[in-house]
A = this chain, B = another copy of it.
Amino acid sequence: MTRYKAIISYDGTAFSGFQRQPHARTVQEEIEKTLLRLNSGKEVVIHGAGRTDAGVHAYGQVIHFDLPQERDVEKLRFGLDTQCPDDIDIVDIAIVSDDFHARYNKHSKTYEFLVDIGRPKNPMMRNYATHYPYPVDLSLMQEAILDLQGTHDFTGFTAAGTSVENKVRTISHASVERDEKTGFLVFTFSGNGFLYKQVRNMVGTLLKIGNGRMPVSQIKTVLESRNRDLAGPTAAGNGLYLKEITYDN
């Protein structure tokens, strides 16, 4: 048995998210179907570092899976890449030790969130950025976003009723800039783990702060109160990208 780690990218538009589920097209199912063909009809299960929701994209999702033989990794990457559907690409494959686990090995994730604040929106980007056609003050968001950095209980920024018990996470980097060329807002968050819908809820809150309908102090208020009702709305998934995953050593 040989364990493989793969970096994959996908366009989330036509997927009901990463994780396999009945009666829905998922990234996991498409890759497993392709691996089945490459593995003489024997089932292969893949494990992703993180689940992404419907419409959410990835440049650097990481998966692992086992095959009976040791294969040439570039040939395997090429075969998997060309046989997977067009909206999934296999960026890199490496052989890893048998105890590597994409999800449980310690790692840091970076998410990016694109917001098209143009009016009218760019039709080419309608599935690749969230449209927010209201005035925003970038400096207010840049001030507020700093309060997300550090170790906090993020209960107020996750969806109600999630099963995870410990909601303390560390965000090592949080920033928002305006891309000169596209005019889009680019939010970037890095950390050791994110709760369900956390990034989208943080962005929804920051946009409301930028628009002046919530004070800059609202981030602190949500963190301290742990009250989801005090945060802004969940931003749409189409602006979200799982950008990169870095494993410790």
Contacts and interface: CB of A to CB of B under 8 A. Distances in A.
Contact of A11 (B9, B10, B124): B124
A126 interface: yes
A22 interface: no
Contact of A123 (B11, B123, B124, B126): B11
A87 interface: yes
Interface in A61-98: 81, 86-91
A121 B89 contact: yes
Nearest to A88: B123
A89 B131 CA distance: 13
Given A9-B120, A9-B122, 13 more contacts: A9-B124, A10-B123, A11-B123, A11-B124, A11-B126, A86-B123, A86-B126, A88-B123, A89-B121, A89-B122, A91-B120, A124-B128, A181-B181
A105 to B, nearest CB: 24
Contacts of A123: 9-11, 86-89
Given A11-B126, A126-B11, A90 B120 contact: yes
Q: Which 6 residue pairs of A and B lie closest in terms of their CB atoms, listed nearest first?
A: A89-B120, A11-B123, A89-B123, A11-B124, A87-B123, A81-B120
Contacts of A181: 181
Interface in A85-141: 86-91, 120-124, 126, 128
- Most B CB within 10 A of own CB, among A57, A89, A121, A126: A89
Interface in A1-29: 9-11
A57 B124 contact: yes
- Most B CB within 10 A of own CB, among A11, A120, A126: A120
A57 B86 CA distance: 20
Contacts of A89: 120-123
A57 B10 CA distance: 22
A10 B122 CA distance: 8
Contacts of A11: 123-124, 126
A99 to B, nearest CB: 28
A81 B121 CA distance: 10
Contacts of A124: 9, 11, 57, 128
Nearest to A128: B124
